[in-house]
Structure 1
């Protein structure tokens, strides 16, 4: 990614519209951003990060602060960034959510991305596209491109936990944490299932309904042998069940024989009682016969009304229709008179319409003329606007030409100055070659001494570890012996307890189930405190575990002893190569290194001075070719721009001639006056047109209404004549119906009112007839059936029957209760067997997942979780990249290493130490000075950047920003740091630095100067 242009408006300290053109700084590759504290230097980095990802470059600034405090309510806050990626230009524009004075609701955040062919809108959509294009997320981008203020040394001083969180964001190892948590959840799940299953086994066993003595003996924790013992006990219950079944069958047979005779007599008594009740009901119906005859006459009368209902309805409908027709005729006659009066008024207005139509045509001609005048004025205004825009472009081109000419002259002067310096390069290279040979020979010996010192430290560490492992083995061996003695003692007590339980059930003259003897002179005694079988099994497992642990500890001691001997052999070989005869110690190493350092100190200083001069001159020599090409390009740009200015002058002259000609030809007035006149004419035209249209419609509509009302009046007159004749005919038929069925019309109207209530009694009449006939038949049948029956007293026989039923029920209850207990016990035993096998399956899975979780969560010899183990591999690759740069910046003195020693129980694996080649000692990273820390942090940041780009694969990020950190460096360290950055520049990277260091201002030609004002910040670019 190569940044081309950054645009900000009302963004943080930059109130006004601000543009930073990075395109003009790409030829230099390295530029400095300087200015007073709080002026807005870091804001440039915030703007770039916000444009791409919607976040600030550092961790201490929030998006809510991006709105400038100096901005007016109407000013829009946004950042626009143009960049090149894979030879394609992209422009992204993003605005945050912010509140404005005078507005109740905030301005919502939005983002746009334009690639020249398509436009993407929306914060989520743009964020996804940027991550797809760049290949990194915001956390990786900050580590690769943005080294923000306050975070420069954050990773170098971080603890293992903090460094783990940083690397997790960079390399996305969250899935490994999820994996570890899934294992933890599985362990908890299977542990809970196992405990619940074990409790369920004991609870289900306690549900068995067996002999109380048996259940008392099996109250302790569940054991698999209990299932077989309970099965045998349940078979005893089955034998008892056979006896109960025989007793029930005998009692049931006796009850059935006596009950048949009893219920025959009881049925005869019931039938005689029923005959007596039916005779009484039949006599009651005979007494209601006169009342039912009167009800039959009323039903006949209302039935006649129902049969002639159609005639009655037609008679009433004809009367109603005749009256409605009379009312409609009167209403239409009034409407016809009203319409005739309205038509006379409209006819007079209709005759005046011809004059108004002539006025309408004249208005239409006037509107066309006004429109033509308006078009000419708009054409004139458009040409004038084009001329003004072109003139602004002409002025901008003039300014660009002058700026380019100034840059061309500065570049030409710098090329001449650099060429003079490069002429001294051959002589310096010859001197450097001789000096380099001397330094290499001495450094080779120094490296061998460092290596020997490191081997010596490792040998000492291995011996110490060998001693610790030996002590650990002795402790574990003693612990194993102690618990083995305890297990043997508890096992003996358990066996005695089993014998005591068996002895407690023995009785004199009864055979012993073990030896068969019927005489028991020396019974075994119960112990007071004995472990259960489950507790004894757990103790046995502890013995096995401790035995395994002491064997593993012995193997570790044996292997460690081999490591000690191997390292001692390597030390002796190096001593011979270095010709060291004396006994090794820290003092010997310090003295040897001190002697070498004194010899090579002056050589290295001389070498480094000449080496820096040669590197600097070679870079200048390499840049001279590019500068010559750039000079030629700028010369060509000047010529092309001069031609463009001449063309622009011709265009301006032509536009000026065109709009002047229009102005002189048409004497154009103000556009607003023409528009007002046109609007007035159009309003007058539409009003006149609407008036003509309304009069014509009303006139023709009134003619139609008069015709319709006249036709309706004739229709209603014909209908009235027809209805009058029908009404006379139906009146005659209605009177004939009254005379035939009723004494008078009043009697008819009375029956008509009571018609529904009479019909409601029809069902009572029908029920009376049906009930009387049914009771008569039923009475006759019962009289014939019971002629030989007589009533019998059954009280004594009922007592005998109840006694037999009670005996039958008691034997039935005893049999079925025992059967239910037997079946329930059998089902419980079957389920216990299944549950026990499931319990063992769960236990196997629980132990498997527990072992996996312990290993992945850091309970292993390395004291590293699975995630930290993976991240440590990435971290070592980062250190490899970082040490390449650190060795350059420290003249081969320092290198970073990951600590591998395991101490304590705390998780480790990402701690950092530094190797000092001058002393041959490993140092804590906290012991570095401020300048040394900056070099280590810069090298680690560069190493992380290189590692992430290799890890992401195929990403193109050719830009690096560094915010502060150079203030802690001396002159020589600044040279070394700039040398590394120049190497990155030569690898086609563009590097921006924020710093207050004056020496950087002198060494870096291209600078962005930020100035702080009362109404916000401003900036400008200076080039050396």
Structure 2
């Protein structure tokens, strides 16, 4: 993969920037600029274009959008690159929030081929396509094509467990762990299957052996099974011998019965065939007649062909005569028709000179037979009418224009005058607002005064009531004191014990009426207290009202009068402004119309001028038409041309029609003459054949007087073969029956039918015995077959079981080996160690060169999970191994660079499908002294000679003199621009 160009719009500090990489292909180049100028953003943009992520995992993609990007503009990255001879262009649009909306505008992604055709669309689809194309993930890309700032040192100093995760991701070693897990799964599955198979075999033994006979040993069970097989075989042999004896007895009896049956059948057949012979002999006279008829038919068959040919050719001669006569009539008609055609064709050829003259004239006239000349008179007329109409319209427009100019000049309203009136209106509104506020204050002040007067009057009234109530209370107090200081409570208790109509407990007099208790002073005190509270409340309210700071104002009545006056003035001024606004609007409308009229007047004048030139052109063309055609109008010209063309067309059609008809008639006559000749020849031939066959029939009849002409066809139609077969069949049948009777008579021992009832009964009993013994024999055979099959099956399954058990044992060893249970590392760790040692071996080639043979990276020699991937540095100067943490900054950078380059190369080598022709390195060179820096750059130059394009981001000034190609990143007003300087550009 090699970059071609990078376009950035609102990405980081880049507003609209394009970086062209074509001039620095297959070279080493430096990206130089101030801190924060956006050097690393170039790497971020490339990584985001490919994988929708930043160049380092520490930066999110949201950091790519420019801080100064307008909220309406998207951030866009367009990255064009070449991969294996093909060019691709990927476009990414970052997510952002449009305007002040909180709705997110989602990201967009597209990738195109070298012809600009869309390949994929959508964030995930584009990333998946690039990952599949490059055979790289974002993590692998950061190790192979791009070493981000601070991250390429990470692998050097990472812990063993962190290195394990990094290497797993880069080399996809999870597949080895998946292999182990698959083998482990197979191990568990096979173990279960082995156990199930063992149980199955034992279950099959249980079908034959009793539980107490079974052993855990397959061998012992097979021996006991074999003993049962031998017993079953012996029992079968004994049953077969018994069955054979019964079969022999039955065969002897069956033969005897069969002999008797055969003799009985011969006796019955003998008498039956004698009856058949009698019937056959009765049919002999009929057969003799058929033999006589067959003899005649055979004689007649000698002239069969002649007889039928005579009939056939008699009809044919008749048909041929009729056909010849018809053809002679048709030939005469066609001959007359051809003579007529020749005469018409000769008359037509006399008109050909006139038609040729028509053709010349029509060809000359055809150039005027166009739509232009067809409508030229109407077009001239229409243009003249249009000119007249437009001239009138122009005069009307001019008059309207003059009137508008006068009307506009009379309208003295202007924008400035209207704005001045509006300012005066605003002043009136402000004054009205001030008066309305003052009115509210005046009304509030007057209301306050009324409330104070009312409160003062109420307070005075309450004070009088309180004074009167106080005198009443004082008078009652004096009456109570006259009771010689008697306790009022005691008096009230005594009153409570009095009952009407009963004697008093003190004076013993009858109580006529119960007096009131002495509590009147408490009611008066309560009333006095209530009035006092009301008085205090009113005084407080009066104090509040009196303290209000109300300004001195005019009376509300005066203010209302002034407000009415101001509102009237406001209404008048608003009406005046509305009128002025309408007038101004009318003036503006008139001015717009004035401009439109000026444009229309100009357009009409221009149109009239064009119409005049068109009329002049058309009249010139029409004069030429009249001069060359001698016609004053197109209609007469067209009629004449149509007549000429119709005459020419009619002539040509008639000529072709007559020529075609003449040719057709000639062919038809030739064909008819040939057909007539053939028909006459055929008629003569058929007559000869008819005469020949008629003679044969007459000769036959004269020699065979017993046959008449009428009998011929009947005798011919007889089926002689069938008749002959019938006769022969009869004779053969008679001979067969006679022969069979003689043969049967010779073999008959006794001429009577013997009774077989007893012997057949005995045979049935023997058959039943055979069936019973046969079933038992079948059962024994089936059992023995089943035992043999089961024995063989168990033997085969035991053999398979042993093989699978052996394979399982090997699988157990393999699983334990790969799982690290035999003192070895796990497969996954072994592979990771293998890759790490390859990386270190490759890295040490460069590290020894960069450090003059002093340092070499080594893996710690252990397979412990926490240390297996730990890297130390071996110092040849001190002949000692030590931690990489003890390296200086420059030494650490050298080791990290060598390790990173090796890691990139090994990953590409392992993944043969990866083709990465670039390497981008971000920072790290600032810690090197001049000599070490030169060695590091020489290393990169050597790497670049293999065809890679290598880019470096660094602040180190010395690099500008070492590296000829420099991409400068310059900043102005928070925005960055790039400038490429190469040796050729100097």
TM range, smaller chain: 0.3 to 0.5
With normalisation by structure 1, the TM-score equals 0.43
The two structures have a TM-score, normalised by structure 2, of: 0.45
Structure label with greater radius of gyration: 2
